[in-house]
Amino acid sequence: MEKAIPHQTIFQIRYKAKLEFYNLLISTAQKMSGYPHWETNRMRVILKNFEEHRSLAISHNTFTYQQDSNDEKMEAKHIQQTLENLPGELKIQSFNRLGYRKKYLTPTKMSFDSLVNILYIKLFSQDDTLRRALPSKIVDLMYRMDFRDDIYRYHITVGPVRKDEISKHIAYNVENHLNPKTRNKEYQEIIKKYPDVAIFSDIDFYQESEKLSLKDTESFVSLANRKVYDIINDMNNYLFEIKTEA
């Protein structure tokens, strides 16, 4: 069974802008440990850790934790640190959007054409009327879905990718996650390690409401992690079931 490997995580919280934010921004950023590098234009701060390929951006109406790494323990630790510190320091009483997004690659040894055929059969209707209406040969595809589950929503994208397409879909945060002195060389090494053929999966799980509390954010993070984990694993189990005939 092919295993999905997380390559990028984005956790973002949005809130209503307040003028007092600008008086609190720098002192709040100084209290966040684990980010030895930083930049600011006095309107926002981006805290950076080049060694661990992660960053925290703080602006007047959002803060965003992002990492280009499959280290899920590190992800959990720094999302928790973000929630424990930023709302209180910035005097944010409520939020209007919580978002948790992960991008995966599932490497496969099969050819790109074979992978396209499998995903086409598995994800698109094979009704004879539809097949007769379309050209006979499928050469590429990308499957996009929007869902709602009670108060939560999802954007899900799945598709086959070749090695030279992966950087476009993953969108590695080169500027904030790699040392400026060595970033070009480091990034080329990262690209070289991408699989020749893979399934790209992008799962964006989010909640929107006028007044979400800090307690809501804590339950959201726990649920988001489980939901995304279940979706990627169940979806891969389905896609790689033995055997589908083209």
Sign of CA dihedral 186, 201, 131, 114: positive
Residue in 214, 203, 110, 123 with CA at minimum distance from that of residue 162 = 110
- pTM for the model: 0.92
Give the three-state DSSP class for 138: coil
pLDDT grade, residue 245 (50/70/90)? very low
**Residue 128 pLDDT > 90, yes or no?**
no
Residue 242 — very low, low, confident or very high, per pLDDT cuts 50/70/90?
A: low
Confidence of residue 151 (pLDDT cuts 50, 70, 90): very high
Q: Where are the domains of the chain?
A: 5-239
pLDDT at residue 246 above 70?
no
According to DSSP, the residues that pair with 1 across neighbouring strands are none
Crossing angle of the two packed helices 21-30 and 72-89, in degrees rounded to 10: 140
The predicted structure's pLDDT at residue 244: 39
Q: Which residues pair with 55 in a beta bridge?
A: 48, 66
Which tens digit of pLDDT belongs to each residue from 53-71? 999 999 999 999 999 999 9
Distance of CA 221 to the CA centre of its chain: 13
Among 4, 7, 225, 201, smallest CA distance to 99 is for 225
pLDDT interval class at 138 (50, 70, 90): confident
Q: How far apart are CA 205 and CA 14, in angstroms?
A: 14
